[in-house]
Amino acid sequence: MFSKNSIKWVIEIIIIHECDLINPVSGELEREYGTTIRIYNPQNKNWDVFYGCTGEAVQLVAQKEDDEIVITCLTPVGFQMKWIFFDIKEDTFKWENIRSTDNGKTWDIKARAENIFRIN
């Protein structure tokens, strides 16, 4: 899976609006468009995150853990879900979507991607 993001800074870097385009590799799902809004919370130094695409809207929280950013889904969807962003460089990063159906005892990788992003 390959995704491309366009990020816009809003209100002096407190809010980030991101338009997502996910291009699947052969045999995967169709192309997906979505949008993400991240709002920085200075009290707990996390980001409150809202993601929406066709048929889905979820609330998440993003936290820095060592050299990674871990986004945890807060909306009940029938399983636990996280995105882990790693190998973060100036214009690229990689991420994995992991899910657990046994309350976090085991995690399965559901998606992996390498992103290229532009700040407009």
| Domains in the chain: boundaries | 2-119
pTM of the model: 0.70
Q: What is the pLDDT of residue 1?
A: 43
Q: Which segment of 17-26, 68-77, 79-88 scores lowest on mean pLDDT?
A: 17-26
Q: What is the DSSP string of 84-120?
A: EEES--SSEEEEEEEEESSTTSS-EEEEEEEEEEEE-
Average pLDDT, the chain: 80
In DSSP terms, 25 is beta-bridged to none
Q: What is the pLDDT of residue 112?
A: 85
Q: Is 6 a residue whose pLDDT tops 60?
A: no
Q: What is the pLDDT of residue 89?
A: 87
Relative to beta strand 68-73, strand 56-65 is antiparallel
pLDDT digits (tens, 9 = 90+) for 30-47: 777 788 888 888 888 899
- Mean pLDDT of all residues in 48-52: 91
pLDDT-based confidence at residue 69 (cuts at 50, 70, 90): very high
What is the SS3 assignment for 80? strand
Q: Which segment of 15-19, 43-47, 48-52, 99-103 scores lowest on mean pLDDT?
A: 15-19
